[in-house]
């Protein structure tokens, strides 16, 4: 896993938040998710493949740390990040791949049923326009869990969205959480480090 080496790179330590994140339980939860990642089921692609998945897991852990999510909610985000693209059939526009992936999450989950359902709606919503999020959550999540599901789904869409630097298509106006917008430069640095570790040179 390149991310575990890249995490140690001094060029990430220039970001004020980073040392606190590294010393938190969220970093440990991220490492657990990465070590348990079933790479055999990931989509094979330079755009939506393992490197992308590793970075989205990383962003989910950072956002979980910043917003002080519970351990179970962090695990929901990490599960969603790990397997949200497993049902892609190509790198193109495919709004249904989130729905297809959501139906397989149980294969990789040790979450309780209620938490798994939240992960499913987060993955389902990630490939759709935000305007569909409310109806999907209202129709599939218990009333007392709707706010929780909505919060997690927005954080997950930002985690995925922050890696749009890889296709030169990250616009902060489409990020939903304030701290996500503060991670744009970090995202660019992280992506460039991946290029370096892959022996490539990116221009972002």
Three-state secondary structure call for residue 43: coil
Q: What is the pTM of this model?
A: 0.95
Q: How many CB atoms lie within 10 A of CB 196?
A: 14
Which pLDDT belongs to residue 36?
96
Residue 40 has pLDDT above 60, yes or no: yes
When pLDDT is averaged across residues 121-131 and rounded to a whole number, the result is 95
Reported as a pLDDT band with limits 50, 70 and 90, residue 204 is: very low
Residue 166 has pLDDT above 70, yes or no: yes
Which pLDDT belongs to residue 202?
39
Which pLDDT belongs to residue 2?
85
Residue 59 has pLDDT above 80, yes or no: yes
Residue 91 has pLDDT above 60, yes or no: yes
When pLDDT is averaged across residues 30-46 and rounded to a whole number, the result is 96
Residue 127 has pLDDT above 60, yes or no: yes
Three-state secondary structure string covering 137-163: HHHHCCHHHHHHHHHHHHHHHHHHHHH
Task: Return mean pLDDT, the chain.
Answer: 94
What gap in Å lies between CA 83 and CA 110, rounded to an integer? 14
Which pLDDT belongs to residue 200?
52
Reported as a pLDDT band with limits 50, 70 and 90, residue 201 is: very low
What gap in Å lies between CA 121 and CA 138, rounded to an integer? 10
What gap in Å lies between CA 201 and CA 137, rounded to an integer? 41
């Amino acid at each position: 896993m390149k991310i575990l080496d890249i995490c140690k790179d001094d060029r990430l330590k220039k970001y004020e938040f980073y040392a606190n994140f590294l010393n938190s339980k969220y970093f440990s939860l991220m490492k657990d998710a990465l070590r348990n990642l079933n790479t055999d089921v990931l989509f094979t692609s330079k755009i939506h493949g393992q490197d992308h998945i590793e970075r989205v897991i990383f962003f989910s852990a950072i956002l979980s740390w910043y917003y002080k999510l519970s351990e179970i909610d962090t695990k929901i985000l990490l599960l969603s990040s790990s397997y949200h693209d497993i049902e892609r059939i190509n790198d193109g526009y495919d709004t249904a791949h989130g729905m297809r992936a959501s139906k397989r999450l149980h294969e990789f989950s040790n979450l309780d049923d209620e938490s798994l359902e939240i992960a499913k709606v987060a993955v389902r919503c990630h490939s759709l326009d935000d305007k569909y999020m409310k109806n999907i959550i209202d129709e599939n999540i218990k009333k007392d869990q709707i706010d929780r599901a909505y919060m997690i789904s927005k954080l997950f869409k930002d985690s995925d969205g922050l890696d749009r630097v890889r296709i030169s298509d990250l616009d902060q106006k489409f990020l939903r959480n304030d701290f996500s917008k503060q991670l744009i430069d970090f995202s660019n640095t992280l992506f460039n480090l991946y290029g370096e570790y892959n022996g490539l040179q990116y221009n972002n």
